[in-house]
Structure 1
């Protein structure tokens, strides 16, 4: 039996950790609006949006190829802005026995946060290039977080502009 491996990365974004967490766990379909070239769709297959035990189906682009991933929301920690997805089926499991993706939004001041990503996985077989596939999945996660951060800032500024025009 293979061993469980872990890969971690962090990226700073200009959006509060609570907003980021709310999007990732309760409205993940909004991430497709923020990063349409990377995330094509997110559908709820079982359960309710934002609830542990719910199952989502993602269509995404990885290394130029359209991929799918059926994922279980395994854990949500509101206090620590953390959500964990366990991959149940899909392209990621072609070379892995198991694969989990954890995102945690860590507050950094009032309007910024650090997104901490953790990938935990067990490979089906050893590869010549260690962690190359996992590193590219991690880069996809980091890029999506950056896109989402920029999208949330843009949405907030659009709301502020709308409110000031209504008040005028």
Structure 2
């Protein structure tokens, strides 16, 4: 039984290089989330604060986004913020993602590139699928990469 349960639990991660500084992209995903829909209109259509203060641990936000050809919704809470390491962790509470996963935790860390301008964005997803038929969230990970690139282009255009 324990073996069956463990096959439902997974971790998937990737990195993407961007031109923006770690601080700028981290700030966008923490304190300026409400700017993401205008900075990434291809993917994100809305961001609404439900609880707490934007950019603070415990704050709850609902996202309206477009993924896999469909309009979707996700409610998430900030679990932790590490400004020194430009890292933030979110827990998905409700929405389309939770139709397939019992739990879903997203960690984003943005680090400086070594020896050159720009940053490396590291996306880390920890999840538990509701059953074996549910796919691993590769398309969600690719979605995160594409949003990162679009936000980077927006941030670079502001400089």
TM class by smaller structure:
over 0.9
For normalisation by structure 1, the TM-score amounts to: 0.87
Gaps of 5+ in 2: none
**TM-aligned CA deviation for residue 28 of structure 1:** 1.0
Task: Note if contact 1:77-1:83 (Cα within 8 Å) is conserved in structure 2.
Answer: yes
Aligned residue number for residue 127 of structure 1: 133
Q: What SS is found at the alignment partner of 1:32?
A: helix
Which among 21, 43, 48 is matched to residue 16 of structure 1?
A: 21
Does residue 33 in structure 1 map to residue 38 in structure 2?
yes
Alignment of 1:12-161 (within 5 A): 12-108=17-113, 109=115, 111-127=117-133, 130-131=135-136, 134-156=137-159
Q: What SS is found at the alignment partner of 2:58?
A: coil
For normalisation by structure 2, the TM-score amounts to: 0.92
Task: Note if contact 1:16-1:110 (Cα within 8 Å) is conserved in structure 2.
Answer: no
Could you report, residue by residue, the CA deviation over 1:75-107 in whole angstroms, capped at 9, with x for unpaired residues? 100011001110000000001000011110011
How many Å separate the matches in 2 of 1:41 and 1:150? 19
Larger Rg: 1
Number of aligned residues: 153
**TM-aligned CA deviation for residue 110 of structure 1:** 6.1
How many Å separate the matches in 2 of 1:61 and 1:74? 24
**TM-aligned CA deviation for residue 5 of structure 1:** 0.7
**TM-aligned CA deviation for residue 45 of structure 1:** 0.4
CA RMSD of aligned residues (A): 1.3
How many Å separate the matches in 2 of 1:29 and 1:117? 20
**TM-aligned CA deviation for residue 153 of structure 1:** 0.4
**TM-aligned CA deviation for residue 111 of structure 1:** 3.5
Could you report, residue by residue, the CA deviation over 1:97-148 in whole angstroms, capped at 9, with x for unpaired residues? 00011110011156300000001100010027x52xx000000000000001
**TM-aligned CA deviation for residue 30 of structure 1:** 1.4
